[in-house]
């Protein structure tokens, strides 16, 4: 089953989005990270750590600016066996849609096709 990874500059956005998905699409694995330390931001180390924990193909969502840059670098350095994709879709709406699609058994290609119609 495909997993979801959420990267936000805000801890509240990351944890809130994860909570929404877990309530609406039980059984879907969601990894979320937001903020650096007690502040705001993202870093490659956080993302790399989450990627090391994925157990299947994963769709990644990001919010603004450097979160994409850090996510792209972490995915480039990823040495695991799973298909890791970055979605260019809104972080909340996109990850929610992906979770629903995962919960009904769609594969990563089908989900990425669905997400491609969303405007970020």
Instruction: Classify the C-alpha dihedral 67-79-32-35 as positive or negative.
Output: negative
Cα gap 96→5, rounded to integer Å: 12
Beta partners for residue 5, in sequence order: 31, 60
Q: Is 9 a catalytic residue?
A: yes
Alpha carbons within 13 angstroms on the beta-carbon side of residue 51 total 27
Cα dist from 120 to 88, 99, 102, 105, 115, whole Å: 6, 17, 20, 25, 10
Residue of 9, 31, 49, 82 with catalytic role: 9
- Could you give the residue numbers annotated as active site? 9
């Amino acid at each position: 089953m495909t997993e979801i990874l959420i990267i936000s500059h805000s801890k509240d956005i990351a944890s809130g989005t994860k909570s929404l998905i877990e309530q609406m699409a039980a059984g879907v694995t969601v990894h979320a990270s937001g903020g650096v330390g007690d502040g705001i931001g993202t870093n490659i180390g956080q993302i790399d750590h989450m990627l090391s924990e994925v157990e299947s193909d994963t769709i990644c969502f990001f919010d603004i600016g450097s979160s994409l840059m850090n996510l792209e670098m972490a995915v480039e350095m990823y040495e695991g066996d799973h298909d890791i994709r970055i979605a260019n879709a809104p972080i909340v709406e996109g990850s929610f849609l992906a979770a629903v699609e995962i919960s009904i058994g769609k594969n990563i290609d089908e989900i990425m096709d669905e997400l491609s119609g969303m405007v970020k």
